[in-house]
Every structure is written in C-alpha cells, then in structure tokens.
A and B are shown apart, each in its own frame.
Chain A
Amino acid sequence: MNEEILMKGNEALAEAAIRAGCNFYVGYPITPQNEILEYMCWRMEQAGGEFIQSESELAAVNILLGAAAAGARGMISSSGPGFSLFQEGISYLVAGDIPAVIVDVARYGSGIGEISQGQSDYKLVTCGNGHGDSQLIVLTPASVQETADLTALAFELAEKYRHPVIILSDAAIGQMMEPVVLPEETHVDIDRDEWTVKGCRSEDKPRLITNLFYYIDDYDSFLRSKYEAMRENEQRWESVCVEDAEVVIVAYGISSRISREAVREARAMGIRLGMIRLITAFPFPEKAFEQIGGCCKALVTVEMSAIGQLADDVRLAVKCSRPVYSVCTGIRVPESGEILDKVKSILCKQTEEARI
C-alpha cells in the first residue's frame, strides 16, 4: 500500500498515468492543464518514456496515434479550446481501433472562454469526438484521489476495448490539493500486442493500421457491439440518498461536491433530496436511475455551463417520466444555498422546466 501524500489534481493525474504504465506523453500548453505538461516533461524521462511538446494539439493527437499504434501506452491532455483541436485525431483513433487516453481539464465557455473553472465540455466529450460514429468512455473525477484512480482505470479500459478513453476533469479538480494514495507502479512492454506496428519479417503478413471499415465485412455491427459492451459493463456512478428522495440532483466533477453539501443541508432541514453523481458520462449511468423511488417528483442537474448540457441525458435516463430542471451557474462555482432554493421552488412548483 502506498502512503498518502498531498498533491494537486493535475499532478496526481500525471503521476498516476506514469504509474499506470503510461510511457508516452505529448502535449501543448493551455491553462488550466499546464501542470500535466510540466510534470511530464521531467517525470516521463525519469520513467524511461517519451515526452514531446508539440507544435499544436492537432499534431499532438496525430503523434499520439503513431505512438499508440507502435505499442506505447500513450496520453495527451488539453482543455476546451485545445480539446476541440483533438477532434480530428480522436476520430482516426476510433476508426483504427487504437487505445489511448485523452484528458480534458475543462474550463468555461465557447471560443477562448475563460481559464477558470467551468464544465462547458459535457456535450463535446459525450456527443462530439470528431466525424463519424464516435463514442468514447468518459470518466469524470470529483476529487484528487478519484483523478488518480480513474487515470489508472482509463488506460485499462482503453486497452480492454482498443478504443480511446477520455478523462473529463475541470479547473477546480485539476488545481486543488488533496491527500491522495497513488496507484502501484506497472510497466508495459511495447511488444505486448500482436496488432501494433513493429516491422514484419518477409514471410509474415504486414500489419496495417488503417480505417477498420476497409477490412471488416460488417463494421457497423462491430462498432455497435463495442459500444453495447461499454454500456453493459462500464456504467459507473455514486448514489447519495436516492431511494426516498423527492428531488434527485444529477451532477459530476466540482458541481457534485457542492451538490453533496446541498443534500446534507436539505436532509437536515427535512427535505428529501438525493444525488446521482456521474463517474462515467459515457456510458451514461442509466442503471443508477432504476434506484429512484416512486416518490421522486423531479430531477435537477447542477452544472457550470450556460445551458443544461447534462439535462437531455437525464431526461432519456428517466424516459421523460419526470421534469428535469437545471441549475446552470456558468463561470461561477455553484453554492449549496442556490441549489436548495431551486429544490424548494421545484417542490412548490414555482419553476419552469429548463429548456435548452
């Protein structure tokens, strides 16, 4: 068992990646994820892996593709505007069945937005990911410890499904310092998989890393079954006081920490409030919503974005059986008081359902 140490979220992510066997990192500076790049620039060399500061995020993701196709356990990281530039390469990683870990330490807003905390990338990571039929497992840590744990899990899932996996952190989780127990160190052999390019002898058939669609007769079914397996096996969430709740909050990352406080305060006041905290945004934890009781009157998403990006997924999860409201605080970290005000007004039927 490793000892507990105090670490910043972004640095814990980088160290956890190294310990999970990550031997290739390429990145480009952007706030609020710079600590990952700066940690990796010395730590990766120390660990015997490869580090590149690339000319752009476009280059980064395409360099990553080559490294991963050659057998590296690779990772790239960015934040909103840079993550948009990853889209091209993510699509090619999906098309080529190539595992990799891609980190988004989210910030606020469209365009350049703001470098401070925000949760504006939910739709980008769950519905975006380039052209084609991309769906990536998205892990959403809410603490420094969970950042470390989910980073190790991300590499495991990427190789289990031969598919890129996203870690969706945010500026608050990435910048805060908390105690953390880091994962055990593992090392991987670049020759561990037969499919990776490594040079072929004249009597062997060459390995071709390309769009899998060219080589599989029923590619659509192949892709669908991959996503179906993820939906079946990888839904992760935490339920807080959900069974008897009249109102259930749905949140992830920094917002879920405030929401937990709101649940505690509500219960002290006799209001039956609960929370479903996403640990995976894709697959969306639909199974969590089976635990909601008949007494549940409404659900409310708490998000740091201008619109309720999460609300549609919640509506689908409850099959539109109950109204879904949103507390959207944009660039501002929500306060438990305003969440409670919203819950009270929902229970008094004084609020309109959020419409996107």
Chain B
Amino acid sequence: MIYKAPERIAYTDGHGFCPGCGHGIAIRIIGEALQELEVEESTIAVVDVACCYLAFDNWQYDSIMAAHGRPVATAVGVKRVRKDNTVFAYLGDGAAYSIGIAETLHAAVRNENITVITVNNGVFGMTGGQMAPTTLDGQRTSSTPQGRDPAKVGHPIHVENIMGGLDIAYLARGALNSVANVRKAKSYVKKAFMKQRQGMGYSYVELLSPCPTNWGLEPVEALKHIDDEVLKVYPVGEFINREER
C-alpha cells in the first residue's frame, strides 16, 4: 500500500510553521477529506491572516486571504455566489472567538451553508503567544506572564456553549495530538464537508492544536500537554450532528 499526501497539498517549498505545530496536521487532514470526497476541483478556501495564512502555500485550491477575524464573513460571500462549490473558512481561535466572534456566530445564526475550521492552540501564535479567549486558567502567556487570572479576565470560551443551541448542521471538536485523535478529527472534518455538500448548512469543527513555540515546550511535551491539561477543559466530540432537515 502506497500512502502519500494529497496531491493538492504542495510541500515543494517546505512550510512556514514552527517545529511541532499542529497546522501541518490540520492542513493534511483537510486535504485528505476533500480528496476522499472528490470535491477538490470545486473547493475554495478562505484563510485568516497570521499562522493560518501560511497554508496558502500548501493548499492548491482557489483561495482568498481574508482580513483578521473575517474569513467566515468572506466565505459567506463566496458561497452565496458559488453555491455548487465547497467553501471553507480556516482560522485561529483568536480570529474565531475574539475579533471575529460576531462573524463566526451570525453566519451560524443564518445557518450559512459553509464549513468553518478553527485551529485552537490557546494563544495568539503569530504575534508572539499573547492570551487568547481560549487560554486556560492559570496559563502563562506573553500578556499574562503570571498566568491567566480568571478574576481579571474571565474563563476560556467554549464554542459548544455559545453555538450549541443554534440550528446548525454540525459542531465538533477534535484534537491533533495523537494518532487516534487525529483520525477522529479527520472524520469530523470530513463529516463537516459532507454536511455542506448535502446543503445542511453551517458545519463547524474546532481542532485543538499544539503550539510548542508559544507554550515554551518541546514538541512531544506539547502533545502530552494537550492530553494532560487541554482535553480536561476542552473535551473532544460531536456536539451537533443534524442528520436531516
């Protein structure tokens, strides 16, 4: 059996991510899902700025770089014009839950028929690891050097609590820290794209991802940190899985 990366992922120029970053895995499983669904020729990706934008060099799909926090809004514009295409937004937790939370939520309220994939690494990565809405209580970041203090800045945001009551097609969280979790995460991503192809509406997957650089951990330690700390706060699983409308 020959096992190789999807042809629509180019690694010829390498990639721009830090050692041990989860983006590479996210890019790969999204590419595999789209290939298996045979929708690569119709796919249009809308990526956020910062770390997500580095995927621009890897995915060989028609793509748009949106403003920070606005990929979901921009993907909505694309999909409304090109209803037969598979359109997805790829953004980070800072984009999805901080600056772009209105765009993330209102596209869900309207149940726009797009797929949104949010990489949650608990920090603003590209800018040097500042606190994000997903930073764990007590977690040290470059803007919470003493650790996140819930008394001052509140607790991390849970997408399933915010979006769980909305009439959307799909909502799941996966983790990119072990073979078993990556396989499960890929099944969520694939299912999300299938919901879009079936015209079911908004499908959303959050992917817990390691950020060794900004966590101050070795790559292997960062994977363990997800098991030991992150998954206790952010459980994986499917929260909404509408089968029919």
Query: Within 8 Å of chain A (Cβ to Cβ): is B189?
Result: no
Query: Are B62 and A207 in contact, with the CB atoms below 8 A?
Result: yes
A33 to chain B, nearest CB (A): 20
A197 to B80, CA, bound (A): 13
A202 to chain B, nearest CB (A): 6
Query: Are A65 and B66 in contact, with the CB atoms below 8 A?
Result: yes
B49 to chain A, nearest CB (A): 9
How many of chain B's residues touch chain A, expressed as a range? 35 or more
Contacts A70-B44, A70-B78, A198-B85 given; indicate if A59 touches B103 (C-beta within 8 A): yes
Query: Are B40 and A202 in contact, with the CB atoms below 8 A?
Result: yes
Select one of A62, A64, A65, A92 contacting B103, CB under 8 A: A62
Query: Within 8 Å of chain B (Cβ to Cβ): is A216?
Result: no
Stretch from B69-77, B138-146, B156-164, B191-199 that touches the partner: B69-77
B38 to chain A, nearest CB (A): 11
Within 8 A of A (CB), among B30-66: 40-44, 46, 56, 59-66
A28 to B81, CA, bound (A): 19
Stretch from A48-56, A143-151, A320-328 that touches the partner: A48-56
Which chain A residue has the least Cβ–Cβ distance from B66?
A62
Query: Are A59 and B73 in contact, with the CB atoms below 8 A?
Result: yes
Query: Within 8 Å of chain A (Cβ to Cβ): is B106?
Result: yes
Which chain B residue has the least Cβ–Cβ distance from A92?
B67
Query: Within 8 Å of chain A (Cβ to Cβ): is B82?
Result: yes
The residues of A that contact B7 with a CB separation of less than 8 Å are 202
Query: Within 8 Å of chain A (Cβ to Cβ): is B21?
Result: no
The residues of B that contact A208 with a CB separation of less than 8 Å are 56, 62-65
Select one of B74, B79, B85, B102 contacting A199, CB under 8 A: B85
Query: Are B77 and A24 in contact, with the CB atoms below 8 A?
Result: yes
A341 to B106, CA, bound (A): 54
The residues of B that contact A69 with a CB separation of less than 8 Å are 64, 74, 77-78
| Per-position binary interface string of chain A over residues 182-199, scored 1 when its CB falls under 8 Å from any chain B CB and 0 otherwise | 000000001000000111
Query: Are B41 and A89 in contact, with the CB atoms below 8 A?
Result: no
Number of A-B contacts (CB under 8 A): 134
B82 to chain A, nearest CB (A): 5
A96 to B105, CA, bound (A): 26
The residues of A that contact B82 with a CB separation of less than 8 Å are 70-71, 190, 197-199
Query: Within 8 Å of chain B (Cβ to Cβ): is A168?
Result: no
A189 to B239, CA, bound (A): 40
A29 to chain B, nearest CB (A): 15
Within 8 A of B (CB), among A64-111: 64-72, 74, 88-89, 92, 96
The residues of B that contact A207 with a CB separation of less than 8 Å are 62-63
Query: Are B64 and A68 in contact, with the CB atoms below 8 A?
Result: no
Query: Within 8 Å of chain A (Cβ to Cβ): is B155?
Result: no
Query: Are B80 and A52 in contact, with the CB atoms below 8 A?
Result: yes
Contacts A69-B64, A198-B82, A200-B62 given; indicate if A52 touches B42 (C-beta within 8 A): no
Query: Within 8 Å of chain A (Cβ to Cβ): is B8?
Result: yes
A47 to B61, CA, bound (A): 31
The residues of B that contact A276 with a CB separation of less than 8 Å are none
Query: Are B77 and A67 in contact, with the CB atoms below 8 A?
Result: yes
Query: Within 8 Å of chain B (Cβ to Cβ): is A63?
Result: yes
Within 8 A of B (CB), among A92-139: 92, 96
B75 to chain A, nearest CB (A): 6
Query: Are B78 and A66 in contact, with the CB atoms below 8 A?
Result: yes
Query: Are B62 and A66 in contact, with the CB atoms below 8 A?
Result: no
A52 to B40, CA, bound (A): 27
Query: Are B106 and A54 in contact, with the CB atoms below 8 A?
Result: yes
Query: Are A63 and B73 in contact, with the CB atoms below 8 A?
Result: yes
Contacts A198-B62, A202-B7, A210-B64 given; indicate if A52 touches B76 (C-beta within 8 A): yes
Query: Are A66 and B102 in contact, with the CB atoms below 8 A?
Result: no
Query: Are A50 and B106 in contact, with the CB atoms below 8 A?
Result: no
The residues of B that contact A52 with a CB separation of less than 8 Å are 76, 80, 110
Query: Within 8 Å of chain B (Cβ to Cβ): is A211?
Result: yes
The residues of A that contact B62 with a CB separation of less than 8 Å are 197-200, 206-208
The residues of B that contact A160 with a CB separation of less than 8 Å are none
The residues of B that contact A58 with a CB separation of less than 8 Å are 70, 73, 102-103
Query: Are A65 and B74 in contact, with the CB atoms below 8 A?
Result: yes
Contacts A62-B77, A63-B76 given; indicate if A209 touches B103 (C-beta within 8 A): no
Query: Are B56 and A210 in contact, with the CB atoms below 8 A?
Result: yes
Most buried by B among A66, A92, A197, A210: A66
Which chain A residue has the least Cβ–Cβ distance from B10?
A206
A41 to chain B, nearest CB (A): 14
Query: Are B102 and A55 in contact, with the CB atoms below 8 A?
Result: yes
A6 to B17, CA, bound (A): 60
Query: Within 8 Å of chain B (Cβ to Cβ): is A339?
Result: no
Closest 7 CB pairs of A and B: A66-B77, A67-B77, A66-B74, A62-B70, A55-B106, A197-B62, A62-B73
